[in-house]
Structure 1
Amino acid sequence: MAKLFGTDGVRGVANQELTPDLAFSLGFAGALVLTEETHHKPTFIVGADTRISCGMLASALIAGITSAGADVIDAGVIATPGVAWLTRELGADAGAMISASHNSYEFNGIKLFSAGGFKLADETEETIEAMIFAGFDGMDRPVGDRVGRLTDYDKGVEDYKNHLLSIADLDLSGMRLVIDCANGASFQTAPALFRALGAEVTALGVEPDGFNINRDCGSTHAKNLAAHVLESGAHLGLAFDGDADRLIAVDDQGQLCDGDVMMAVLARDLDQRGMLARKTIVATVMSNLGLEKMAEREGFLLVRTAVGDRYVLEHMLREGLSLGGEQSGHVILLDDATTGDGQLTALRFLRAIVGQGRDVRLSEMRKMIELFPQVLVNVRVDQGRADAIIDHPQFTEAVRLTGEKLGEAGRLLIRKSGTEPLIRIMIEGQDQEEISDYAARLQEVISRLGAKKQKG
């Protein structure tokens, strides 16, 4: 059976892989599965980012939900964590976000949330998939007053911004920030949020046109932000992705601070406040070895999970932990939110910096973690070919030989992307040139085995 859900919802090229028909089916099946235990007419919160296909897919998704007999509150353009928060805050039975996160505009995706604002468990996604593949023939469809009602909720984005303000615990007076909203879901909230806290804000990526989301901007293209930070003499820069569930920072010297650096800074600050539960950080296998060494030095425990913020969250919930995240900038602060929230992460990150004194700069604070040389390479492959290439004897032998050369002084991780047709190569070691050469050789093997044009 084909699998619809990846590591972050259902995703694909809009109107080709993620079609309106599939969106309708996800809405219909999702409404039935997620609300089967309710004894009232259920309600979904639906939000979207700024890409052109969101209107098409939202219409189909909402049609599916209401056709199953659930009401829909449409929050319009809002960050993914905003949908999760509204789902919980308004007492809704489920939530849905239409976004392909950091991907370019032709892609889109649908993420579903449970009543508490949490991403779905694998078992729940499998139940929804099974229902879609089985088809809806013979199912009872509500009629009359049992059909779901659609209600627009234009103030949802303002409610979410005000919620963040209410928990900020932060005065940014005198601080100069450059913010890149990726022409995405945070373009209305992030500049207003940080200005309301007293910062002088230069806002980039706040002119979405349906096509420019994540285009040479946002958390995956932070070089432009770094240039603006240096040019303006700002204290730091903050880059969100298209749906604002991740954050990448730039220090006053123009150097990028990824999720590992931010988790190191946050862990020490939370520990000083007595808020780092069990003195533990939850990261993934992709996190830099430097985070592990920093944790050892500070007396923290670092736990690694599989790649995907959902697996980080599952471990945090199971063990009662407060801080976790991914190198990519997904950071989960479970005392404040049910999912990764880029704007919340920025608030807590800034609080950690300001808490060290007005004269302390991020370029100094980041020295608490020494990152090991690391190479990350993404190789685009034909749809459905990743597993066959990864399991091919030529590739497995190349991986084995590379691992032997690295020895105990390095790490090698090969995995397929859960959201795109990519094979991801991660190599850590002591010499940047050496590990870059290892990565290039593995990339060549993938290309010989049938990859498309490489995309690093």
Structure 2
Amino acid sequence: MGKYFGTDGFRGEANISLTSDHAYKVGRFLGWYYGELRRRNGGARTGGDFEVSWRGADENKPRIVIGKDTRRSSYMFEYALIAGMVASGADAYTMHVTTTPSVAYITRTDDFDCGVMITASHNPFYDNGIKVLNGDGGKMDEATIGLIEDYIDGHLEVFGQKYDELPFARKDQIGRAVDYMAGRNRYIGYLISLGVYSFRGMKVGLDCANGSSWSVAPAVFEALGAKVYAINTEPNGTNINRNAGSTHIQGLQKFVVDNKLDVGFAYDGDADRCLAVDEKGNVVDGDGILYIYGRYMKERGKLVSNTVVTTVMSNFGLYKAFDEIGIGYAKTSVGDKYVHEYMVKHGCRIGGEQSGHIIFMKYATTGDGILTSLKLMQVMMDRKKPLSELAAPLTIYPQTLINVRVKDKAEAQSDPEVQAKIGEIEARLEASDSGRVLVRESGTEPVIRVMVEAETEEEARTSAEDIAGLIRRKFGAEE
């Protein structure tokens, strides 16, 4: 991870650690950099031939598409990014309030040089972030992210030259801002086209988290025939994710049961993740979704390489369930970025995280919450079974996660006494094939995360407390 950009973009509190000046500089760099790449590539978009598809488009100007979520600060960052891009000679196409997956889709299908999504995903409204996508709709490569950071810090060196400042576009080379609401509408049409079955007769609850999905998800489900019961669809700039969506799913659980719905789906602020609720009010998380759809793919001969890609945070019970039905699995570091990289490298078709980031590689380049809910509906309609029955063979083991704030993460992690304690508990759980231990450093905080899974909640809790207590006593820092 870089100085500003983490695994999921440049994220921080608006006007504190992430400012409009940062956004302007990101826009300035992207507009100039992709213009320079075009100039050096004879006017072609990086990675392929460019065809002029828009009236009045200048094939030598880079084209960048921008979307945003419903946070109050998203407008500020949108305008700052646009200002930077057009000042550098790029045309900025604005999709306005939309989902991260829609920006990824339009970037890829409409031949944009790159895409930008303004969002802090599941974070509270006062945070925000800038996600940069490459021309294929995937996460931007680390080398380009490094150049953006270098420019922000004032010591950019690229193309064999040092730049104290980037040149401004002049006269007719100055870029323009183009309304591109049509892009969001085309994405909605794409999702509808993936509907294999009619949802007529199904009562579906949607928790839109007062975020990006409020103007997309209900329209898709209604078009496919479902009776839609949507909640948290009135964003006001400060209520995104507030007691709503996939991070506060209790509201949807009660809503599904009270209204006798067939199923419910909860999205986060930018709708790149989805959690489900069955007709009984039980949560089906990302692990459950990977199990249900991975098994569905295997039964139909569609699970290429017979591998589902997970992260190290997936539940022990998921792996036991996969073992029982003969499905292989891979484990990556935490972050859908790493899941996607593994899937691309090894040709896997499905992967994701416990948190609900699920990637269906045939249909998308990033986690897509609305697509995920459509795919779960497909299994329910095809197998003519409720979600509770589809998830029933999967036993999720109780899990305890304790975060310990420390003075030195590396020292705490490598300490011989800590490692001995971890080994002792691991050996006990492995001997009975009843759980596992994961102790890792946080990528963003001075914290060691201690996670234990076991057959009982008590065993998971006491084992995690044993390890966390030792780390806290030897290396703990004040909160």
Q: TM-score of the superposition, structure 1-length normalised?
A: 0.92
2:300 pairs with 1:280: no
Moved more, 128-137 or 182-191: 128-137
Q: Percent identity?
A: 41
Distance 1:2 1:115, change over 3 A: closer
Distance 1:216 1:124, change over 3 A: same
Report deviation, 1:336: 0.4
The aligned residue for residue 391 of structure 1 is 411
Letter of the 1:318 counterpart: K
Aligned to 2:246, the other structure's residue is in SS state coil
Letter of the 2:216 counterpart: T
The aligned residue for residue 376 of structure 1 is 401
Aligned to 1:313, the other structure's residue is in SS state helix
Please tell me whether the aligned partners of residues 213 and 271 of structure 2 are also in contact (alpha carbons under 8 angstroms).
yes
2:4 pairs with 1:28: no
Distance 1:139 1:375, change over 3 A: same
Question: CA deviation digits over 1:306-342, x for unaligned, max 9?
Answer: 1110111011111111101011100000100111100
The aligned residue for residue 381 of structure 2 is 354
Following superposition of structure 1 onto structure 2, how do residues 167-186 of structure 1 map, counting pairs within 5 Å? 167-186=194-213
Report deviation, 1:208: 0.5
Report deviation, 1:378: 4.7
Moved more, 392-401 or 65-74: 392-401
Q: Which ranges in structure 1 are unaligned for 5 or more consecutive residues?
A: none
2:341 pairs with 1:321: no
Question: CA deviation digits over 1:164-213, x for unaligned, max 9?
Answer: 00122121111111110000000011111111111111111101011110
Following superposition of structure 1 onto structure 2, how do residues 187-336 of structure 1 map, counting pairs within 5 Å? 187-336=214-363
The aligned residue for residue 14 of structure 1 is 14
Looking at structure 2, the residues matched to 115 and 145 of structure 1 have their Cα atoms a distance apart, in angstroms, of 25
Please tell me whether the aligned partners of residues 175 and 200 of structure 1 are also in contact (alpha carbons under 8 angstroms).
yes
The partner residue of 1:139 within 119, 141, 166 is 166
Looking at structure 2, the residues matched to 355 and 387 of structure 1 have their Cα atoms a distance apart, in angstroms, of 53
Please tell me whether the aligned partners of residues 33 and 127 of structure 1 are also in contact (alpha carbons under 8 angstroms).
no
The aligned residue for residue 434 of structure 1 is 459
Looking at structure 2, the residues matched to 419 and 48 of structure 1 have their Cα atoms a distance apart, in angstroms, of 23
Moved more, 22-31 or 170-179: 22-31
Distance 1:146 1:417, change over 3 A: farther
Distance 1:111 1:174, change over 3 A: same
Aligned to 1:123, the other structure's residue is in SS state helix
Question: CA deviation digits over 1:99-158, x for unaligned, max 9?
Answer: 000111011000011111111122332232233321652432221111221111223322
Letter of the 2:174 counterpart: V
2:144 pairs with 1:117: no
Looking at structure 2, the residues matched to 145 and 395 of structure 1 have their Cα atoms a distance apart, in angstroms, of 62
Report deviation, 1:261: 0.4
Question: CA deviation digits over 1:404-434, x for unaligned, max 9?
Answer: 1232243222334446676533221222112
Following superposition of structure 1 onto structure 2, how do residues 53-68 of structure 1 map, counting pairs within 5 Å? 53-68=73-88
State how many pairs are aligned: 445
The aligned residue for residue 57 of structure 2 is none
Please tell me whether the aligned partners of residues 35 and 93 of structure 1 are also in contact (alpha carbons under 8 angstroms).
no
Distance 1:274 1:172, change over 3 A: same
Aligned to 2:18, the other structure's residue is in SS state coil
Question: CA deviation digits over 1:65-99, x for unaligned, max 9?
Answer: 22222110010000000001111122111000000
Looking at structure 1, the residues matched to 175 and 304 of structure 2 have their Cα atoms a distance apart, in angstroms, of 42
Distance 1:309 1:374, change over 3 A: same
Report deviation, 1:387: 7.5
The aligned residue for residue 86 of structure 1 is 106
Distance 1:398 1:88, change over 3 A: same
The partner residue of 1:339 within 366, 381, 397 is 366
State the structure with more CA Rg: 2
Distance 1:50 1:93, change over 3 A: same
Aligned to 1:303, the other structure's residue is in SS state strand
Report deviation, 1:9: 0.7
Letter of the 2:97 counterpart: V
Question: CA deviation digits over 1:204-240, x for unaligned, max 9?
Answer: 1101011110011100110110011111111111000
Moved more, 300-309 or 425-434: 425-434
Distance 1:182 1:317, change over 3 A: same
The partner residue of 2:187 within 136, 144, 160 is 160
Letter of the 1:413 counterpart: L
Please report the RMSD computed on the Cα atoms of aligned residues, expressed in angstroms: 2.2
Letter of the 2:96 counterpart: G
Q: TM-score of the superposition, structure 2-length normalised?
A: 0.87
The aligned residue for residue 71 of structure 1 is 91
2:66 pairs with 1:46: yes
Looking at structure 1, the residues matched to 443 and 267 of structure 2 have their Cα atoms a distance apart, in angstroms, of 20
